[in-house]
Amino acid sequence: MAMGGPDSLEAVGPYLNDVRGGRPTPPELVQEITERYRATGGKSPALAITREVARRLEARLNATGSARFSVYVGLRHWHPYIRETYQEIVKDGVRRVVGVCMAPQNSQLSVGAYVRKVSEAQTESGIAVRFSYVPNWHTHPALIRGIVANIHEAFQKFPPEARERVALIFTAHSLPERILAAGDPYTGQVRQTVEAVLAALGPLPSGATWRFAYQSQGRSEEQWLGPTVEATLDELHDLGFRYVLMAPIGFVSDHLEVLYDIDIEFKKRACEKGMRLERIAMLNATPPLIEALQDIVTTHLRETGL
């Protein structure tokens, strides 16, 4: 399961209305987000990437186990909606469903929302296929190994003489601060992902440093988790850093928050301050992600009973 995104520029408005729970989206915001999608290819790449993940995961699961696996894709805010996919699952006669969210860290506003969508789909269909879900997989060794490999590769983007003075910024999607009062596990799991990556990465060059920041804060009036990337870039600039590598460890695939917020907006901000900003590659449908998903699915089934 993934959040999804519009499959055309014309779909941006309806997509945003769905994200906003049916509340009308101000026309100026629709125009702004439409232009962001226009600048990053005209549509979200999330569905194509998630379908490729599903195809490769299904092949790997069926090559190594005795059970027959079918891997479906359901999106929270666009087609194929989770409810549409659940109807397909029922029609296909599936007896056991494991939900895996393409969000390694758990929050009631992310993973919890996906699970609620499945529950609504079960109620709507009147048929409750046995369902359980993987709550988190934020420190899985294959996930960490893939991120670390991409960090090492991305360091090569900088001139050799600059690699001693690179600032590494880990990021995850910001959420409203109210999750803290509710005891949500999200912030702790984000920190654990960063710690696991740093441990596997090994010592940074003596002149390098690292920071963590939340990105892509929402437009609501409430307070969102920080520090922001913008404030972090300002701090690093004041400390004399001119080379920045961003590692969005809260995401596993390319989508608007990566392709626009980082690759366009943050790069522009850094450039205006005389800084060079690069980003690690996302895992998308690469072997480390497929390996992680295969293991968490088979482990979950073993622990909960096939």
Instruction: Report the CATH number at residue 213.
Output: 3.40.50.1400
How do the pLDDT tens digits run along the chain, 306 residues long?
999 999 999 999 999 999 999 999 999 999 999 999 999 999 999 999 999 999 999 999 999 767 899 999 999 999 999 999 999 999 999 999 999 999 999 999 999 999 999 999 999 999 999 999 999 999 999 999 999 999 999 999 999 999 999 999 999 999 999 999 999 999 999 999 999 999 999 999 999 999 999 999 998 889 999 999 999 999 999 999 999 999 999 999 999 999 999 999 999 999 999 999 999 999 999 999 999 999 999 999 999 986
In a domain, 32, yes or no: no
In a domain, 170, yes or no: yes
**Whole-angstrom distance, CA of residue 174 vs CA of residue 225:** 5
**Whole-angstrom distance, CA of residue 164 vs CA of residue 207:** 5
In a domain, 295, yes or no: no
pLDDT above 70 covers a percentage of the chain that reads: 99
In a domain, 191, yes or no: yes
The burial class, CB within 10 Å (0-12 / 13-18 / 19+), for 77 is: buried
Q: Return the sign of the alpha-carbon dihedral for residues 16, 21, 27, 32.
A: negative
44-63: b or e for each residue (b if 16 or more CB lie within 10 Å)? bbbbebbebbbebbbebbee
**Whole-angstrom distance, CA of residue 10 vs CA of residue 81:** 18
In a domain, 292, yes or no: no
In a domain, 10, yes or no: no
Give me the torsion for CA of 10, 12, 13, 15, rounded to 10°: 120
In a domain, 37, yes or no: no
In a domain, 163, yes or no: yes
Quick one: pLDDT at residue 231? 98
Tokens representing 156? 């090569």
Strands 166-173 and 209-215: what pairing? parallel
Domain that holds residue 166: 141-279
Chain position carrying tokens 């963590």: 212
Number of domains in the chain: 1
| Of 135, 129, 60, 70, the residue nearest 96 (C-alpha) | 129
> CA 115 → CA 107, 134, 176, 217, 306, distances in Å?
11, 10, 20, 23, 19
Determine if the pTM surpasses 0.85: yes
| Residues facing residue 130 across a β-bridge | 96
> CA 111 → CA 104, 198, 272, distances in Å?
9, 25, 37
**Whole-angstrom distance, CA of residue 123 vs CA of residue 41:** 37
**Whole-angstrom distance, CA of residue 262 vs CA of residue 201:** 22
Please count the other Cβ atoms lying within 10 Å of the Cβ belonging to residue 186: 25
